[in-house]
Structure 1
Amino acid sequence: MEDGTNLLVVAMSWAAQLTVAIFFIAGFVSFYTEVWNRAFSDSERSRTERIWLRIALIVLAIGLGSILHFAGYLGGSTSMMYHNIGLFILVFSLLDEEINFGEYLIRCVALITVWAMHHMGHFMVDRFAISMIILVIILVVVWRFRHTIESRFPLRLLVSSIVAIDFWFTLPTHSASMVMTPAVSIEAVLMFFVMKLSTGRQQNLWAHNEQVAHQANYDRLTNTKNFTAYQKEIFNAFGIARTGHQPLAIAMMDIDHFKLINDQYGHLAGNQVLTEVANALKRVLLQYSENYQLYRTGGEEFTLVFPDSSAQEILAILIHCWRTVRAAEYVYDKDTIKITVSFGLTELVDHDQSPDDVYKRADHSLYISKKNGRDTITVDGK
């Protein structure tokens, strides 16, 4: 009877800790994802802001993971829970989308450091070497196949569970204020698994929302921002330019004789040309600034927005775009298609009352380029 009572107490204690852990992790994942979206998905933020937000992600994951790890030394009967939540946060940040190798390496070093601290005084024991070898292999595999793993929750669940098993079943008997037994290891791995499982739907929902937002704001064919995105973002760019007395340049671009390409080579050829021209333009713009934006605002028509830049400064960039498109080879079904483009460029002036005023002038300059033989750049009607 007494054994049954003790078992019930242990089960209730574990269930209570699991509940606390799940609520804590749900809050963390929600906040972390919000910061991630601002760092990687918010196109209205400057490059400097994004860099600071990416640093904040590292500090958030490593800082909170380390704090929980140290709290585990003082946690008494709840030490395992603190260490498990800390481990979860560090592993969660490894599966972060879009981070570069340097950011990934920092996260790996933090995890390895915490891992080693749990084996303090037992570095010469075989189980420590085995656990580290398994961990390093996992970290290499995660980086090598990160895009596949990140996009599939079952794979993320599998990788996280392997890390948890490797961590909890290789600890020494006395580790970070815990007395490790097979029962404690099983409880810890099960808690980790349930925590990860509980966040799966949450992450999948955010991924779905991001996908819906992407589909609403990006052209499916060229993966370029669409007219809907332009309408939302140009008002922000216009407002910043007006209130901050900053320049703002807008260019309209049209692929010359695009209807003839469709008629002669077919619409699939036209689609390929649109995609390749859009990719060429994006590559050129990225050489100058991440703040320069490209939108597909019509069938073969694109709009380019240049915040904090005058038309005189942008003319050289448009010439670069123009030459890049003209010099490229567009091959479809063994046919080489010659492509030229026309531009119309203007900038914000004092009497402009809305973004439409700037847009209409750029569109008028584009009309002049097409009227005068195409394959040219017109700046404010000249």
Structure 2
Amino acid sequence: MMQIHTLPLFTWAMQLVLAFLLILGFIQVYQYIGRRTWSVNITTGLRLGFTLSLGLGLMHVAASLTLTTTLYANAGLFVLTLPLFDTRSTNWGYGCQALGLLGIWLRYHTPNSLVATLTLILLLGGLWGIRLIHLSPRQRLFVEALVTLLFGTIFWCLRPHWQGAVAAWLMFVIMTGATMSYWFFVQHRKLVANVALDPLTGAKNYGAFEQELQAAFGTAQQRQQPLTLVMLDIDYFKNINDTYGHLAGDQILTDFTAALQQQLATAGFQHVLYRTGGEEFNVILAGQSVTDSRPLIAEFWQKIRNTTFTYDDQPINFTISVGMTQLRPTDTQVRALYKRADRYLYQSKHEGRDAITIEGTSHYSMRHNSLVATYAFFTQAVLDFEKDQSIRNELLMRVYYPERGKWLRPLDFNMAVSDQIALMRRTIAHSTIKSVALNLTPQQFRNEAVATELIQFNRQLRFQNQTDAGERLVLEITHAPDLTTMQRMSQIYHAGHIKLTMDSVGTINAYEQVAPLLPYLDYLKFSVQRLDDAQRRTEGLTLIKFWKQVADDHHLMFIVEGVETDADLSTLKQIGVRYAQGYYFGEPVLPRMT
């Protein structure tokens, strides 16, 4: 039978430290097994074999020694008890772990085996019930600490020989407290790290970017070291979502992030990657100039445009636009660095996309010399049911593929705003439309240079069969901007007599994003999904009614696009929708060019 001896304080303290280190090592191995991509049963089996062999082994050693009995007994008890709290383990895994603990419990509590057994069974039953209760991580950690202490207290209190049991129990209490504190620290650190991460891609998010760019800016200034900021944006990402679906878009974002992380890792630079918008990414390169980092980014640009990504066996190709700048002696605030990188990113877009702009100079641009010949705006009417007439036409970009003999929705075309204006002029000149709606990307919407071009174009418009100024140009915003941008740009556009529509409300743009922007909008557009079964129809109608009410409450025009059937049209009329567009009224058409 195991005998517990009273130890000198120093020896007892050293045993406590050794036991704590042993437990930390056990936790690391236990978690490592769980992180491996094995099946649940394999993971449970490996963890069970590891914990039982280690725990029973420690308890066996404790029964064979004298001075180190407390060390091994407490460590073994902890190893056998802790996995019982793992809610990811299977039922059979929990049962085997409990049987192992029961066996060692009986060995150490003769002749009080009956009382000890009943007590343990009650504890295990209570613990099983706790496993079924949904608790927050902090609540679960607190409960686990209490139950662990209860296991240790009962284990030592039911020992038939009390000599040294108090010291052994005290060691177990301190071990539990120290281990749970360490575990809480680790979980808290993970929680803080996860808050700063984008859940889809694993890159850091915009909140982390703001804080860490400011810190990197201050460090670079203080140490007089170079600092480079790189902005990357996937060209026409909305077309990927529209063509292949949002799951495909998510996969592209994930694959793009992995490719960029791999590229950055090969260079050996100090770097941090952030996803700061839907398809916009930023890279902070501390200690690197643009001269040092240009080859790295250029190689990645080339790799992306030459790589065919896949989703559900469908090939997807796309390009990226990049803006790069480094810290300058005249930069007194981090905002100057950020705005310059943002301006260079827009310049890459304006130069035709698929480009890298470094300190104001664009490189590697892929330009089309015959944009008007290969690209065109198709038009699709937005109808007013009450007046039975078109109120405007949305301009939909299409590109002609000679090898297929078709006009198709472009996936990775390059189009600067000035080129879009040229196409709009040509479209309007050869049609009878009186008002047009043009889609703007987030980068285009927040750029004042783009606003100046569009306002000037709006003033020059002269539509056929239109005698008054009327409503000439309406802009559709594809992604909700931040409130500050919306306030600034809406004032500019409204002063230029251009109205604003928030596109894809309820899908791409959630209510939480749109709500603060409502005072600065003129229209809301909802994209209706297929209503071909009862469940989809119910969900779709609920959303349409909600957004119509939002529009009515803020005196905004509400438009539903995607109408395809008589049933769709009838349903919309019944709930009071007045404006709509879709294939039911006619496919997008190409104005005749003369």
TM-score range, shorter-chain basis?
0.5 to 0.7
Of 345, 351, 354, 2:324 maps to: 345
* Residues 293 and 217 of structure 1, relative CA distance in 2, 3 Å threshold: same
Which residue does 1:312 correspond to in 2? 291
CA contact (8 A) 2:16 2:175 kept: no
Which residue does 1:243 correspond to in 2? 222
Give the Cα separation in 1 of the matches to 2:299 and 2:285: 15
Which residue does 2:302 correspond to in 1? 323
Deviates more, 1:331-340 or 1:260-269: 331-340
* Residues 251 and 175 of structure 1, relative CA distance in 2, 3 Å threshold: closer
Give the Cα separation in 2 of the matches to 1:234 and 1:292: 11
Give the Cα separation in 2 of the matches to 1:220 and 1:264: 24
Which residue does 1:145 correspond to in 2? 33
Q: Name stretches of at least 5 consecutive residues in structure 1 with no aligned partner.
A: 1-9, 15-75, 98-140
* Residues 202 and 142 of structure 1, relative CA distance in 2, 3 Å threshold: closer
CA contact (8 A) 2:230 2:341 kept: yes
Report the number of matched residues.
261
CA contact (8 A) 2:234 2:320 kept: yes
CA contact (8 A) 2:269 2:285 kept: no
Secondary structure of the structure 2 residue equivalent to 1:299 = coil
Of 63, 76, 88, 1:169 maps to: 63
Which residue does 2:472 correspond to in 1? none
Secondary structure of the structure 1 residue equivalent to 2:8 = helix
Which residue does 2:13 correspond to in 1? 82
* Residues 214 and 142 of structure 1, relative CA distance in 2, 3 Å threshold: closer
* C-alpha displacement of 1:192: 5.7
The structure that is strand-richer by fraction is 2
Which residue does 1:91 correspond to in 2? 22
CA contact (8 A) 1:331 1:337 kept: yes
Give the Cα separation in 1 of the matches to 2:245 and 2:60: 57
Give the Cα separation in 2 of the matches to 1:86 and 1:285: 41
Give the Cα separation in 2 of the matches to 1:206 and 1:157: 23
Give the Cα separation in 1 of the matches to 2:287 and 2:208: 19
Q: Which has the higher contact order (CA 8 A, sep 6+)?
A: 1
* Residues 283 and 165 of structure 1, relative CA distance in 2, 3 Å threshold: same
Which residue does 2:262 correspond to in 1? 283
Give the Cα separation in 2 of the matches to 1:328 and 1:90: 48
* C-alpha displacement of 1:146: 6.2
Matched, 1:358 2:252: no
Give the Cα separation in 2 of the matches to 1:146 and 1:195: 27
- Residue type at the aligned position of 2:62: W
Matched, 1:213 2:101: no
* C-alpha displacement of 1:86: 3.0
CA contact (8 A) 2:323 2:342 kept: yes
Secondary structure of the structure 2 residue equivalent to 1:225 = coil
* C-alpha displacement of 1:144: 6.4
Give the Cα separation in 1 of the matches to 2:11 and 2:54: 17
Give the Cα separation in 2 of the matches to 1:165 and 1:192: 16
* C-alpha displacement of 1:84: 2.4
- Residue type at the aligned position of 2:33: F
CA contact (8 A) 1:345 1:377 kept: yes
**Identical positions, percent:** 31
User: Based on CA coordinates, which of the two structures has the bigger radius of gyration?
Assistant: 2
* Residues 77 and 264 of structure 1, relative CA distance in 2, 3 Å threshold: same
* C-alpha displacement of 1:319: 1.3
Give the Cα separation in 1 of the matches to 2:306 and 2:54: 48
For 1:340-368, what per-residue CA distance to the aligned partner results, in whole angstroms no more than 9, with x for missing partners? 11111110111101111111111111111
* C-alpha displacement of 1:271: 0.6
* Residues 163 and 210 of structure 1, relative CA distance in 2, 3 Å threshold: farther
CA contact (8 A) 2:229 2:326 kept: yes
* Residues 230 and 157 of structure 1, relative CA distance in 2, 3 Å threshold: farther
* Residues 332 and 360 of structure 1, relative CA distance in 2, 3 Å threshold: same
* Residues 167 and 142 of structure 1, relative CA distance in 2, 3 Å threshold: farther
CA contact (8 A) 2:308 2:316 kept: yes
Give the Cα separation in 1 of the matches to 2:360 and 2:53: 60
Secondary structure of the structure 1 residue equivalent to 2:238 = helix
- What TM-score, normalized by structure 1, do the two folds share? 0.59
For 1:258-289, what per-residue CA distance to the aligned partner results, in whole angstroms no more than 9, with x for missing partners? 00000000111101100110111111111223
Secondary structure of the structure 2 residue equivalent to 1:252 = strand
Give the Cα separation in 2 of the matches to 1:242 and 1:170: 64
* C-alpha displacement of 1:322: 1.4
Of 231, 241, 244, 2:210 maps to: 231
Secondary structure of the structure 2 residue equivalent to 1:298 = coil
Which residue does 2:278 correspond to in 1? 299
Which structure 2 residues correspond to residues 33-112 of structure 1 after superposition, within 5 A?
Answer: 77-78=8-9, 81-95=12-26
Give the Cα separation in 2 of the matches to 1:290 and 1:170: 55
Give the Cα separation in 1 of the matches to 2:227 and 2:178: 43
CA contact (8 A) 1:330 1:336 kept: yes
* Residues 163 and 305 of structure 1, relative CA distance in 2, 3 Å threshold: farther
Q: Name stretches of at least 5 consecutive residues in structure 2 with no aligned partner.
A: 37-43, 74-107, 109-160, 362-594
* C-alpha displacement of 1:83: 4.1
* C-alpha displacement of 1:194: 3.9
Secondary structure of the structure 1 residue equivalent to 2:357 = strand
Give the Cα separation in 1 of the matches to 2:167 and 2:58: 8
- What TM-score, normalized by structure 2, do the two folds share? 0.39
Which residue does 2:551 correspond to in 1? none
For 1:47-77, what per-residue CA distance to the aligned partner results, in whole angstroms no more than 9, with x for missing partners? xxxxxxxxxxxxxxxxxxxxxxxxxxxxx53
* Residues 164 and 86 of structure 1, relative CA distance in 2, 3 Å threshold: farther
CA contact (8 A) 1:161 1:192 kept: no
Deviates more, 1:159-168 or 1:202-211: 159-168
